[in-house]
Amino acid sequence: MATTPTTPATSTRKYAYAGPPFNFLGHMSESQYNKFQPWVNARVSKFPSIQQFYQIRAAQLRKTSGALEQFYKTLNDEVLTPTFVKTPWQPGMAGWFSYSYRNDQLPMVAMSNIKTYMKEQLLRQDEAVFQMNHIRNVIEKTEDKAQYANEATAGIQTLFTQITSYFNKPEYQAVLVKDLSDQYPPGSGQARYRVNQLDAPTQWELEQNVRHNTVNQTNQTGI
């Protein structure tokens, strides 16, 4: 029988506080979820400004990247270009297998000695290409943040709908704890399950543990 939602007792919820901070993921209570939703909804309107900020930032970074690459392509003492590749690696049509290394110690030692002599000049090359690659990588991340901000308003509401539906499914009752509408004993203000492992076991959990131990003892003794 459904019970009237009441405020859960705080004496058994020392660690499962509602927040903020909202330091929970897939294991939460109704009261936590009910407090988290309005907090998020009050800030959804900020996403257009967040998107615009990252778009402006990405445009600024593209100008910086262009100037840097132009320098190493024209004014530098040798032509250097970025090696940044946006497309992720994939095996070829014929598949892929690991390369079998041969007896390469001697040429490796010889090349290592040459590079020891040329260390400073080679480092100059590496640092230049690294900086060009790095700024391209930062541009990609910045543009991704703008895209996430663009998708956030609709995406958040869809995700809230999913979580709400999970609360109504019995298979999630031990992790999505209905501390307001499913209390044990009914109307006691005590949740049926704990939300945080460090909190004291609930009355329901204690009773289930006793029953479980009794069944195990009976099975072991055969009585």
Domain with 65, as residue range(s), is: 46-86+106-162
Whether residue 35 is found in the same domain as residue 63: no
Least confident of 144-153, 160-169, 181-190: 181-190
The pLDDT of residue 137 is above 90: yes
Mean pLDDT, the chain, as a whole number? 88
Average pLDDT of 212-219?
72
Place of tokens 């998708």: 151
Q: Give pLDDT tens digits for 150-179.
A: 999 999 999 999 999 999 999 999 899 998
Q: Is 55 among the domain residues?
A: yes
Q: Give pLDDT tens digits for 6-64.
A: 555 544 567 777 788 888 888 899 999 999 999 999 999 999 999 999 999 999 999 99
At residue 1, the pLDDT reads 42
Question: How many folded domains does the chain comprise?
Answer: 2
Whether residue 140 is found in the same domain as residue 56: yes
- DSSP string computed for 132-166: HHHHHHHHHHHHHHHHHHHHHHHHHHHHHHHHHHH
